[in-house]
Amino acid sequence: MRFLKQLAVSLVVLVVGGAAWVRFAPGAGETLAAIGVSHPLIDALSGSQSGEGTGGGQRNGGRGEGGRGGFSDAALVVVRPAESAIVNNRLNAIGNGEAIRSVTVTPASTGNLTEILVKSGDRIEEGQVIARLDSDEQMIAAEHARLTRDSAREKVERYRNLGTARAVTAVEVRDAEIAMQAAELALRTAELDLRRRDIVAPSKGIVGIITVNVGDYVTTSTPIAVVDDRSQILVDFWVPERFASRISVGQPVTANAVAQPGRQLDGAIHAIDNRLDQASRTLRVRARIENPDDMLRAGMSFSVTMAFDGDRYPTVDPLAIQWSSEGSYIWRVDGDKSERVPIKIIQRNPDKVLVEAEIAEGDRIVTEGVQRLRDGGAVRIAGETSPEREQKVAGDAQ
């Protein structure tokens, strides 16, 4: 008896489960019919499922009213319109600033420093003397050369006067003139050596930290001071290879000093390198920024921004991207048919994917329900009413 009770309960559970499957599972009746199982009760259960309520066709995955009639083969999908976006329209880079002209001042000759005439932070002009070397020896040499020149000049004048009286020959007059010219050259050399004892600024600017003191022995390679002309700042930065053909001299840029946030600086491209760095595949570019208030310094870091026309590409929802052995593709709804469109992914973003494909802005792209799609197959869009259903609803209303 106990075994019979268990068997009866099992049969009841199987019958209830089978009835529920036939009642609620889409296509259960057709599946049983395909394997040769048919019964009026099964047909009634499956028929009531497809015809229940006005929204039964929507819940049955694309089956219209009347079971197998109308849109039994149309796949229910969710679509989103294709949009467009622009890429490569902005370049951001970090660069280093340098003065428009920066000169390290060194002596033109060797010797001991006797004077330093400027201090750090002084603004100087081109040709201004900033330091002097000991020059006693050069002053003596210049005086001696001047006396020699004066003596040679007097001798030439005397020989010219005597030449008119035929007291000296023309050859002697010529020799005296050559000696005078040699004396003048020696004087110019001595005066040049004396001037070189003064250390002068080759350009205008602001003096940096002076690293020598009075009394130091310096040579022609000893740095006395660094003079920066920072009326303009040059910013060197590196741009990716794809922007190399889009940059030209004079193109406007905007920059922000990292140490001075919130202050926008306007500038222009000053120079472009003639080759790319092979290791980084980047191009060196130099921008020029005005610095009228002297708030910028050489060595500062800058955030540089450049704007371009950019490239426009269509965009689709990330859920729409499908893959096959031939590559990536999407499904587009054309009328009431599905169309497979191959794509090439350009850029992935969290909310959209830029692609290269033959789609236009506004095209309906399938995002859900792609499993049942085939090229050229019928589709129904969720939330939209089909023309046949509208006709049926209109006929029922009449």
- Sketch the domain layout of the chain as residue ranges: 2-52, 75-85+312-397, 90-129+202-308, 135-196
Helix locations, 100-165, DSSP H: 136-164
CA distances from 371 to 62, 85, 143, 329, 352 (A): 13, 28, 104, 13, 21
- Average pLDDT for the chain: 83
pLDDT tens for 137-167 read 999 999 999 999 999 999 888 888 887 767 7
Asked if 143 and 229 count as a contact pair (C-beta separation under 8 A), the reply is no
pLDDT of 367 above 50: yes
pLDDT tens for 370-385 read 888 888 889 988 877 6
φ/ψ of residue 24, rounded to 5? -110, -20
What's the pLDDT at 60?
Answer: 41
What is the arithmetic mean of pLDDT over 67-79? 67
How sure is the predictor about 43, in pLDDT bands with cuts at 50, 70 and 90? low
pLDDT of 34 above 60: no
What CATH number is given for 135-196 in this structure?
1.10.287.470
What's the pLDDT at 56?
Answer: 39
What is the sign of the dihedral through the CA atoms of 160, 165, 170 and 172?
negative
What is the arithmetic mean of pLDDT over 111-133? 93
- Domain at 75-85+312-397, CATH from 1.10.1660.10, 2.40.420.20, 3.60.40.10, 3.30.950.10: 2.40.420.20
pLDDT of 307 above 90: no
Q: How many whole angstroms separate alpha carbon 127 and alpha carbon 225?
A: 14
What's the pLDDT at 386?
Answer: 55
3-state secondary structure of 6: helix
How sure is the predictor about 311, in pLDDT bands with cuts at 50, 70 and 90? confident
What is the sign of the dihedral through the CA atoms of 115, 120, 123 and 127?
positive
What is the arithmetic mean of pLDDT over 304-310? 86
pLDDT of 48 above 70: no
Q: Do domains 75-85+312-397 and 135-196 have the same CATH topology?
A: no
What's the pLDDT at 59?
Answer: 38
Residue 139's Cβ-count burial label (10 Å; 0-12, 13-18, 19+) is middle
Gap between the terminal Cα atoms of the chain: 62
pLDDT tens for 192-201 read 999 999 999 9
Looking at per-residue pLDDT, the higher value among 357 and 3 belongs to 357
φ/ψ of residue 330, rounded to 5? -135, 165
What's the pLDDT at 5?
Answer: 72
pLDDT of 3 above 90: no
What's the pLDDT at 349?
Answer: 85
Any idea which of 181-190, 266-275, 308-317 has the lowest mean pLDDT? 308-317
pLDDT of 67 above 50: no
* Upper half-sphere CA count for residue 63 (Cβ side, 13 Å): 21
Q: Which amino acid is at 343?
A: I
What's the pLDDT at 75?
Answer: 86
What is the arithmetic mean of pLDDT over 351-359? 91
Asked if 286 and 269 count as a contact pair (C-beta separation under 8 A), the reply is yes
pLDDT of 39 above 90: no
Q: Which CATH architecture has domain 90-129+202-308?
A: Beta Barrel (2.40)
How sure is the predictor about 335, in pLDDT bands with cuts at 50, 70 and 90? confident
Q: What is the pTM of this model?
A: 0.59
Q: How many whole angstroms separate alpha carbon 59 and alpha carbon 55?
A: 7
Any idea which of 57-71, 218-232, 347-361 has the lowest mean pLDDT? 57-71
Give percent of the chain above pLDDT 70: 80
CA distances from 175 to 150, 159, 166, 183, 186 (A): 16, 10, 16, 12, 17
Residue 43's Cβ-count burial label (10 Å; 0-12, 13-18, 19+) is middle
Asked if 357 and 341 count as a contact pair (C-beta separation under 8 A), the reply is yes
What is the arithmetic mean of pLDDT over 333-359? 90
Q: Tokens 């030439």 belong to which residue?
A: 156
